[in-house]
Structure formats: structure tokens, C-alpha cells
Amino acid sequence: MPIHTTSDGWVLETQATGYALGLNQAGLLVHRYWGPRLLDPDDYPRAPDSAGWASFNNPAQLTPEEYPGYEDMKFVEPCLKVTFGDGVRDVVLRFAGAEVHEADGPELRIQLRDQAYPFRLTLHYRVHAAYDLIERWVTATNDGDTPLQIERIWSAQWHLPPGDAYRLSHLTGRHMNEFSLRREPLTHGVKVLESRRITTSHHHSPWFAVDRGHADEDAGEVWFGALAWSGNWKLAAEVTDFGSTRVNLGLNDWDFAWRLAPGESFVAPSSYSGYSYEGFGGASRRLHDFVRDTLLPHGKTLHKVLYNSWEATEFDVDEPSQIHLAELAAALGVELFVMDDGWFHGRNHDRAGLGDWWPDARKFPNGLQPLIDRVNALGMEFGIWIEPEMVNPDSDLYRAHPDWVIHFPTRARTEGRNQLILNVARADVQEYLIEKLDRLLSDHNIAFIKWDMNRNVSEPGWPDAPSDPRELWVRYVQGLYHIWGTLRERHPQVIWQSCSGGGGRADLAILRLADQIWVSDNTEPATRLGIQEGFSQLFPANTMEAWVTDMGASYLSPAFRFHVSMCGVLGIGGHLARWSAAQRTEAARWIALYKEIRPIVQLGDCYRLRSPQMHPYSALQYVSKDRAEGVLFVFRTHLQGPAVLPPIYLRGLDPDARYEVEGIPGARSGRAWMHAGLSIPLNDFASSARRIRRAAG
């Protein structure tokens, strides 16, 4: 039973972990424990009492509350800040009941009620036992007859065991250089990571891992988590003056307000967190399995090798040139042909066309059907690029509806890449986009959509907002989910890819809609190694679309370029018409090999053996779930000579079974490959992909 009720609270148990919370003597809902699962529900520590410290630190300041509201003399980061109708800005929440819903997750629901106002908060704890994850979110309800205003509503405060010093791992970056992994000590005060860009952002990811400073990929205690939200978010990791460490995760409260009308509820997004005693690798593998098994719309469907025309032709697409590329792609073994930007009305460059989602009559005089028919006849599926939330001022849509964009009437409308953002919080905008895109999908045999989003917000106004215009930050994302969700429901066979100028919208919530993420516009393979490593902290390889393009082709071998992309979902994005016959023959060989190994890469366990961000000689391994097969990728970028290359120690094998590693004579035990290691000599900018197979008998 994953949820136990104990004398002073509740214990949530997963396969390997326990999480305990309860009521202390003062009646406050407090954190008790988060770590390895203990033998007995009564083994978990009791709820800590509230103690104070002189007049400057009331008990409220020192109590590890599960979900502190702003009240009393509380100066730690609260999760909730509310202003009631009469102007009172202090929320006094106290325990009012708890229920366990076994069928629903299972889920523990705890009710907190304000002591003076008809305001209620439900804390939800859902246990994902097989993944050692706990999902937390909250619902706020106004049971009264006057509106109130929510100014902050985070999804969870995650408490680390008290009294220790911790290190925070997080991802940071920018366009063309997303997902750089950083590790730094958490010191007294608050470390804030956030997005204020209306998307998840290239700059930080709503993900964290916290350890005591000495965990590695294989071993050590790691507490980790992520927020499932694709708009403004905030992570506030606080070390209090009394040495208590907690990580808050939720919607960004910056410029945020939500008017909660009588009878209404507000549901905050889910935050998922877990504990691993198998280091950062163990944390990642738990998230990977969870994403693949429970979030992705098409779950464990193997993804096809695609060709995308963007880096080859940019806006210069038309029927004959796309058909030519499609013929070349089919001959390589490509299974899905994706036409990128440039196909729709008036789209000859990035200054016009966005919003007018029908085929450009000059480029496609007979519509898209002849191209799609040809692609299908070549044995490939057809995919297409869209950027629904955007509009160019030079478009029929903007000329008809200039008021549909996010703007302040008295301010200039700042353009990014010559475009403005449609306010998808508006019902009329939602209807327009659903109608246009539904028609595109209904009229054509489209198997794949790349959904792009190429700028961040400015002048975040909503002139005729029905409620507080600052609700835009949340209602925009809800509108996006509504449009995308409606289209997905109507066209369930379509595979969607989330792109935002690369990895600008990568999070657990978008993966309920999209099966894949376009990780970065940077396809230079050596740089990509680090980007992909960061991405893999959170996301599984079957969500990681990776193209071989012409970037890096002048100094990196085709093998290196293919090996990098084969670590995820292989795609091709180079200008095939300019590839020589020999290059195309070699590409066909790599694609054929990828098709053999893709079940292991896309659905297996990922082991980061040596970090490319730390070492110019790096390695990554995938192992099938039954541990019968694996693939090892080894890369060397520039290493000053003379260099002694370290052994590579494999991971994830059955220690007592015997395995063969391609290119190395003789079978050895899993134990030997994992502890004695193997040597893969490589020159600068060379790579190797080796298959690993359990030996017969």
C-alpha cells in the first residue's frame, strides 16, 4: 500500500523511497521525511514541533511546513500569497481533513482551510510508485461570495533533510546553446531560476537535482524534480538562516495575479519529484521511464528517421524542389519527409506570412497534395512545420485582426524576428487557429507536425481581458494547451514535435502533447554533445530529435556526425542535393544501422559514462530493458597530445552474464566490462559506436 496513515500523519511509499508528512503539536502540516523507504510506517520520524528563537524568529519562521502561506512572522519563501476582498493580505491555513483515493493514482488529498475566510486549499500528493516519484499540485477554491486575488501559488515546497549543505544541479543556456549542466553549492539565501518569457525558455529549465556534494552518475543520494508547465515558472531554492533547505517550484509570481471569483477553483500545475540513491544517472532513468510510460501521447512508439528541409532550402521551398529532396531522402532509407518553414501564403522570407496557414499558391499551384502523394508513393510519411501562435504584421490575418496580438494600446509593439504574438488566451484566436489547422490536417495526409514558437513576449498587455489582465501568463498557456489538445484529439495519429527556436519549450507538460522536442537550432555535432547531455538529465532519448546537417561537415567525419545524432531520434537536415553519391551511400549505411539499434536507444536505459561537458573524451551507453543488448558511443573532440585515454567502464549489464562488445575479441562477464573496463583508442574528432550483445549460453 503506497499511502499509510500513521498516528501523526501520512507516509507515501514508492518502490524504493518514503515521504512522510504530518501534523505537529501546533496543528501545522509539516514535513517529516524524504529518502530511502524504511521498513515500517512507524519508523518514520515524528512531526517536528514548532519552536521559536527570540522575538525575531517566531515558530512560523522555523517550522518545516509542507505548504506555507504568507502569514504570521514568516520570512521564508511562502508558497501562497492571497489578498482577500476586504484587503487582508494574510492567509491562515489550517488542517481540515485528509482523504486517500486509492484508485486515483493513488492520491492523498489534504484540505487546508483559512481560519476566517471561506477559502480552501487542497494539497494533492499522487504516488508514482514504480518511478520513485511523487506528484504534487494544489487546488485553491473560493467558497465565499466575494472575489479574492491570488498573487503567488506554487505547486510544492520540497524539503531536504535538515542540517546539511547541499549542491544544486540545474540547466541553463540560451538560443543555440541550451541545456548546459551547472552544479553549484546552495548557500544561505534564495537561488532563483525562472522564466518570464511566456514559454519554458532556452535559458533555464524547470528541473533540479540536489545532492550533498558528492553524488556522481552511479551512486549517492539525489533529490530531483521538475515542473510540468510550459509558461512562466519559478524555482526558488532556499537555505534558511537555520540551515533548512527547501526547493519551491511553481508558476512564476512575477507580474502575476489571478482573480478567484466566488465558487471558482484554481488548479496549479504538477510538480514531480523523486529520490534516487543511484546518483544522477538513477534520477534521470526514473524520469525517462516515467515520461515514456505515462506522459508521451504515443508512449513507446519507435520514432521514424526523418528528413527536414530547413537547413537545406530555408524559405525557398516549392513543389519540384521538395519532390527532388524527397526522392533523395527516400533513397537513403528516410521514413518521414518534413517540409519546414516557407510553404504557406506569402511566406518568402521571415517578414511575412505567419498567420495565413494555407499553401502558397505560387509555390504550390496545385496545393500540397501532389507533393504529399509523391512522398507517400516513395514510401515515406509526410510532415509539416507550423508556428501557430505567431503573426507577421505583413499577413492577411494581422490586417484583419490587429487587436488579436499581445500588446498595450499606448505602446509600440516590439517585434521579434518581425513577428508579434497572437494572444491565444482569447477564445476567438483559439477558434481561428483550431479551424485553420484542423482544415490543414483534415485535408491532407499529414503524419507529423513541427510546432514552432520563435520569439519571447514583450508589452504583455491584454486590453479587453475579461478579468485581471495579468492572468495572461497562465491563460496563454492554457489556451495553447487547449488548441494543441483539441487538434491532437481530432487527429490522434499525428506525431507532434515541440520546437521554440530549438529547445525553448521543453518541459514535462508539453510532452503530454508532443512526442518529441527539437533540442536546439545548433546542429554542430561537437557542441551538440554537451547540449544533448544536459537534455538527457530530464528527457528520454526517444523525445530527442537530432539531425545530421551540414554544420561541422568540413571538419567532422560523417561517422562522428551520425553517431552524435544516433544518440537520440536520428534525422537528416543537410542539403542532400549537394551530397556526393559516396556521401549518400555512407548516410544510407548509418541510417540502416540506426534502424537496428533504435529500440535500444529510444527505449532503453541511458548511462552517461563520461561527460562531454567535462571531458573531451566522452562516452554514453544505452542498454535494453532486458539487459540483453546495448550500444556504446564514444567521442573524442580535441584532447591535447600526447594523451592517455582512460578505460571506459560499461554500466547496466547483468554482472553474471557474458557479453560481447563489437570490435573486441572474446566474451567477458558483465562484471568485467563494468569494472575492468575496455579501451577505445580514438584520434581527435573521432568517434565509435559499438554494439553490445549478451553471449549465447
| Residue bearing cell 509555390 | 363
Instruction: Give the contact letters, 48-87, x = binds to ligand GLA (CB under 6 A), - = no.
Output: ----------------------------------------
Part of the chain binding ligand GLA (CB under 6 A), chosen from 33-41, 163-171, 495-503, 557-565? 495-503
Contact (Cβ atoms closer than 8 angstroms) between residue 504 and residue 252:
no
User: Given the complex with ligand GLA, which of 141 and 309 has the nearer CB atom?
Assistant: 309
The catalytically annotated residue of 211, 340, 341, 521 is 521
Part of the chain binding ligand GLA (CB under 6 A), chosen from 53-61, 218-226, 422-430, 496-504? 496-504
- Binding flag, residue 515, ligand GLA (CB under 6 A): no
- Binding flag, residue 221, ligand GLA (CB under 6 A): no
Among 341, 389, 533, 605, binds ligand GLA (CB under 6 A): 341
Contact (Cβ atoms closer than 8 angstroms) between residue 227 and residue 236:
no
User: Given the complex with ligand GLA, which of 18 and 502 has the nearer CB atom?
Assistant: 502
Among 41, 269, 279, 501, binds ligand GLA (CB under 6 A): 501
Among 135, 253, 278, 340, binds ligand GLA (CB under 6 A): 340
**Residue spans of alpha helices (H) in 291-425:** 310-313, 319-332, 369-377, 396-400
Size of residue set near ligand GLA by CB under 6 A: 11
- How far apart are CB 542 and ligand GLA at their closest, in Å? 19
- Binding flag, residue 502, ligand GLA (CB under 6 A): yes
Contact (Cβ atoms closer than 8 angstroms) between residue 147 and residue 85:
yes
Catalytic residue status for 145? no
User: Given the complex with ligand GLA, which of 78 and 504 has the nearer CB atom?
Assistant: 504
- How far apart are CB 441 and ligand GLA at their closest, in Å? 19
- How far apart are CB 178 and ligand GLA at their closest, in Å? 11
Among 381, 521, 629, 660, binds ligand GLA (CB under 6 A): 521
Instruction: Find the distance separating the first CA and the last CA of the chain, reported in whole Å.
Output: 39
Q: What are phi and psi of 302, to 5 degrees?
A: -75, 135
Among 499, 541, 564, 692, binds ligand GLA (CB under 6 A): 499
Catalytic residue status for 452? yes
> How many CB atoms are located within 10 Å of the residue 146 CB?
12
- How far apart are CB 550 and ligand GLA at their closest, in Å? 14
The catalytically annotated residue of 289, 340, 452, 507 is 452
Of all residues in the shown chain, the one whose CB is closest to ligand GLA is 341
387-409 b/e with 16+ CB inside 10 Å = b? bbbbbbbbbebbeebeebbbbee
- How far apart are CB 315 and ligand GLA at their closest, in Å? 8
User: Given the complex with ligand GLA, which of 351 and 615 has the nearer CB atom?
Assistant: 351
Among 107, 452, 545, 660, binds ligand GLA (CB under 6 A): 452
Q: What are phi and psi of 502, to 5 degrees?
A: 100, -130
User: Given the complex with ligand GLA, which of 71 and 340 has the nearer CB atom?
Assistant: 340
Bridge partners (DSSP) of residue 659 are: 668, 694
Contact (Cβ atoms closer than 8 angstroms) between residue 179 and residue 205:
yes
The distance from CA 300 to its chain's CA centroid, rounded to whole angstroms, is 17
Part of the chain binding ligand GLA (CB under 6 A), chosen from 139-147, 181-189, 226-234, 498-506? 498-506
Which of 396, 387, 382, 319 has the alpha carbon at shortest distance from 350? 387
- How far apart are CB 518 and ligand GLA at their closest, in Å? 6
Exposed/middle/buried for 583, CB within 10 Å: 0-12, 13-18, 19+? middle
> How many CB atoms are located within 10 Å of the residue 661 CB?
20
Contact (Cβ atoms closer than 8 angstroms) between residue 319 and residue 363:
yes
C-alpha cell read off for 177: 546553446
- Binding flag, residue 119, ligand GLA (CB under 6 A): no
Contacts of 620 (CB under 8 A, 6+ apart): 533, 567, 606, 607, 608, 609, 632, 633
- How far apart are CB 552 and ligand GLA at their closest, in Å? 16
- Binding flag, residue 278, ligand GLA (CB under 6 A): no
- How far apart are CB 695 and ligand GLA at their closest, in Å? 43
CA distances from 123 to 75, 79, 169, 257, 525 (A): 22, 12, 27, 20, 44
- Binding flag, residue 385, ligand GLA (CB under 6 A): yes
- Binding flag, residue 217, ligand GLA (CB under 6 A): no
CA-to-CA distance for 599 and 300, rounded, in angstroms?
9
- How far apart are CB 450 and ligand GLA at their closest, in Å? 6
User: 126 in helix, strand or coil?
Assistant: strand
Among 63, 201, 423, 454, binds ligand GLA (CB under 6 A): 454
- Binding flag, residue 117, ligand GLA (CB under 6 A): no
Contact (Cβ atoms closer than 8 angstroms) between residue 158 and residue 245:
no
- How far apart are CB 385 and ligand GLA at their closest, in Å? 5
DSSP conformation letters of 441-452: HHHS---EEEE-
CA distances from 591 to 298, 580, 584, 620 (A): 23, 16, 10, 19
Whether residue 106 is preceded by a cis peptide bond, meaning omega within 30 degrees of 0, is yes
User: Given the complex with ligand GLA, which of 499 and 513 has the nearer CB atom?
Assistant: 499
Part of the chain binding ligand GLA (CB under 6 A), chosen from 69-77, 321-329, 468-476, 497-505? 497-505
Give residues 286-325 in contact with ligand GLA (rule: CB under 6 A): 310
Question: Which residues are catalytic, by number?
Answer: 452, 521
Q: For binding to ligand GLA (CB under 6 A), which residues are involved? A: 310, 340-341, 385, 452, 454, 499, 501-502, 518, 521
